[in-house]
Amino acid sequence: MKILFVASEGLPYSKTGGLADVVEGLPKALVEMGHQVAVLLPRYHGNRVTSTLVSSVTVSLGDQVRFPSIAEGVSVAGVRYFFVDDPGYFDREQPYGDKSGEYPDNAERFTEFSRVAIEFAKRVLLPDVIHCHDWQTALVPVLLHTQHADDPAVRSLPVVLTIHNLAYQGMFPQSALRKAGLPAQLFAMDALEFYGRINFLKGGLLFADYLSTVSRRYAKEIQTPEYGAGLEGVIVQRADRLVGILNGVDYSIWSPETDTLIAQNYSAQNLEGKKACKKDLLNAFKLPADKPEDLERPVVGIVSRFADQKGFDLIAQVAGEMMKEDLSFVVLGTGNPEYERFFMLLAEKYPRSVGVKIGYDNPLAHKIEAGADMFLMPSRYEPCGLNQIYSLRYGTAPLVRATGGLDDTVQSFDAKTQQGTGFKFDAYDGNALLDCLRRALKVYKEPKNWRVLQKNGMARDFSWKTSAAAYVTLYEAAKRSRIPRVAGTSKR
């Protein structure tokens, strides 16, 4: 099967979040299964290309006409990479915005990207299926079903759209419709209109042939008002075409047996190296690490974007009580200034127990996964999550709220049955988080049970192989069910 990925970011060329990891890992797994995969990305600042395949594509955007080109980059692990090259739109330091906020021309930028994606399918590589990701590419199925409905070259192309995080929808004022060169009839309830604005993701949800999201639990959650972000009615309407497929991870990068960024490698059969990793981690954060009791004290790690979604308000609620426990915290992340200040003040108040680094640091993230005893993810919602999966492989017990992919991937430990891989809590409440932490600390003081817990987690396999097979099944279903959307049935 020939599969075209269309995404706004993807490793090894660009990354702001977990989407980039998926756009790297899933194509590699599909190639290993014998499929042909191409990935189309915007050419951001610093992306190198090897050749220009189409020197100019004419794109009409309202009052302006632009002429982006299509270029090819270096193939990686059998995956071919291509770029939409328009320096005025994409040669910027950040993909979506700067310190002042989102770029004001994002509607035009990603409309152009979606239009060129269709031209790519016509001129460069005609796939069997197009796999789009998030709002930035959600116009691809919309355009195929409207402006390209009579185009014999592409009108029958099936499209799968994956929702990585429903909170990001691509909403713009009605005036953006004209600026993006989109027809006025798309400002309708059964298309892009959303409470007087336009919503790119809504259009994709309505017009894609199949929808997926990144865990089974999240697929159910987004059909409810609590998690649906205003689009639950649309998603319920398409529920028969929605599946939840858990993201995989790349164990060639995230495994304590082969990780080159940690102090000492180790495995489930021999966990001795984890002690060296713990000492190295404490030293990296300038926390006490020289005495035996320093290494016996449990270390709780956090690696995250500092966003409201991630549950840091719960930590703030009970931080004082948490710090009464005999433990150390190591925190790596950046984002909301309020949470950056909170963690920095916590480190100032407890300098021998809390270490914080504000920023993105991949080697340090590996050190935290390997050296910590527990990994905390108290998210308000979490479509999939990757760090809890990394933690399992590193013998670092996840402490998570039972939502989305966190609930799907972590099983609560039961000392009686010796089953389970971590610790979960249900209520979005600081005391529930504190109780979860105390349950984990109790088991930590029971070395035999803790070793069983570690080995249970390290035995779990969340590689891309299983997920890739599920996507192939989805692609085949999309090909079989290629039918036009029925207008006039949309629910906001």
Q: 29-35: long-range contacts (C-beta < 8 A, 24 or more apart)? A: 29/248, 29/463, 29/464, 29/465, 29/467, 29/468, 30/3, 30/468, 30/471, 30/472, 31/77, 31/78, 31/79, 32/78, 32/465, 32/468, 33/468, 33/469, 33/472, 35/1, 35/2, 35/3, 35/472
Which pLDDT value is given to residue 486? Answer: 44
Residue 438 has pLDDT above 70, yes or no: yes
Cα four-point dihedral sign 186, 190, 194, 196:
positive
* Residue 448 phi, psi dihedral angles, 5° rounding: -65, -45
Span 136-141, mean pLDDT?
97
Q: Which has the higher per-residue pLDDT, 483 or 463?
A: 463
pLDDT of 485 over the 50 cut: no
User: Band of the pLDDT at 217, cuts 50, 70, 90?
Assistant: very high
Q: Residue range 461-478: average pLDDT?
A: 96
CATH topology of domain 273-461: Rossmann fold (3.40.50)
pLDDT at 488 over 70: no
pLDDT tier, 16 (very low <50, low <70, confident <90, very high otherwise): confident
Task: Fill in the amino acid letter for 45.
Answer: H
Q: What is the pLDDT of residue 491?
A: 53
Q: What is the pLDDT of residues 322-333, one digit of tens each?
A: 999 999 999 999
In this prediction, residue 78 carries a pLDDT of: 97
Rounded Cα distance between 478 and 432, Å, is 42
Between the CA of residue 169 and those of 165, 201, 228, 229, 406, what are the distances in Å?
Answer: 9, 5, 11, 9, 22
* CA dist., res. 297 & res. 288, Å (int): 10
| Lowest-confidence segment of 15-24, 192-201, 264-273 by average pLDDT | 15-24
Domain ranges of the chain: 2-248+466-480, 273-461
Split at pLDDT 50, 70, 90, the class of 483 is low
Predicted confidence band at 62 (pLDDT cuts at 50, 70, 90)?
Answer: confident
* Mean pLDDT to the nearest integer, 180-206: 94
Of 119-123, 130-134, 364-368, 485-489, the range with the lowest mean pLDDT is 485-489
- DSSP per-residue codes, 443-482: HHTSHHHHHHHHHHHHH---BHHHHHHHHHHHHHHHHHT-
pLDDT in tens, 78-108: 999 999 999 999 999 899 998 888 999 999 9
Average of per-residue pLDDT across 345-352:
97
What pLDDT is stored for residue 489 in this prediction?
45
pLDDT value of position 482? 77
Look at residue 99 in the predicted model and tell me its pLDDT. Answer: 80
For the cut 60, the answer to whether the pLDDT of residue 492 exceeds it is no
What are the distances in angstroms from CA 430 to CA 66, 120, 382, 427? 52, 50, 17, 9
- Res. 276: pLDDT tops 50: yes
Name the helix (H) or strand (E) containing 61: strand 59-61
Instruction: Classify strands 80-85 and 36-42 as parallel, antiparallel or unpaired.
Output: parallel
What is the average pLDDT across 264-270? 97
- Nearest partner of 102 among 135, 140, 69, judged by Cα: 135
Domain 2-248+466-480: CATH superfamily is: Glycogen Phosphorylase B; (3.40.50.2000)
Task: Name which of 232, 242, 248 is nearest 160 in CA terms.
Answer: 242
Name the band, by pLDDT with cuts 50, 70 and 90, for residue 190. very high
What is the three-class DSSP state of 350?
coil
Give yes or no for residue 466 having a pLDDT over 60. Answer: yes
Average pLDDT, the chain: 95
Same fold across 2-248+466-480 and 273-461: yes
> pLDDT at position 63, please?
87
Mean per-residue pLDDT, 289-301: 95
Percent above pLDDT 70 for the chain:
98
Share of the chain above pLDDT 90, in %: 91
